[in-house]
Each structure stands twice: as structure tokens, then as C-alpha cells.
Amino acid sequence: MKIACKIIVSGTVQNVFYRRFIKEKADNLGLCGFVRNLQNGDVEIFVEGDKNKIKELIEEAKKEPKYSLVKNVTIEEKKWVGESKEFKILSF
């Protein structure tokens, strides 16, 4: 089943290559969407794809790659519309 999710990750997740970490995981799982820094210091992930693969990405997002500290992960399930064709790292 295909779904979409908006995921907000807070903690020490900017300027520590967290977006690159998420992109690599999403690419490996064959997911589409984007990851970007938010002005408040959080990271936003919007992802579309197979529900089980998205669950895997969420579990990876909770891990702490080198130099990062994940304090909170908020997940909001969205309706899949298939707009994304790849996974990108976006700027503000």
C-alpha cells in the first residue's frame, strides 16, 4: 500500500549531515520526496512510497548519525498522490 508522510525531526539535526543521511536511506529504500532544514532548527521530511518502506525510513530517522541528537520525531500520515519522482535535499 502506498502512502505519504510528513515527518518533523527535532534536536541537533542541522549542520551535522542529517539531511544527507536521510537521503541515502530514502534512496536505498526506493522512496520519493524531500528533506529540508526548517528555520526553527528542525528537519522536515516528506516521503511517498510503500508503507512498510516508509516505516523503515522512520525508524532510521530516529537513529542518530554521527554528531546528531534526535530529541523528537513527529509523524503525520498524508494521502499518497505520487507527485514526487525522486528524493531530494532542499534548502530553506
Active-site residue numbers?
Answer: 19, 37
Q: What are phi and psi of 12, to 5 degrees?
A: -90, 90
3-state secondary structure of 51: helix
Neighbours of 79 (CB within 10 A): 8
Measured between alpha carbons, how far is 31 from 34 in angstroms, rounded to an integer? 10
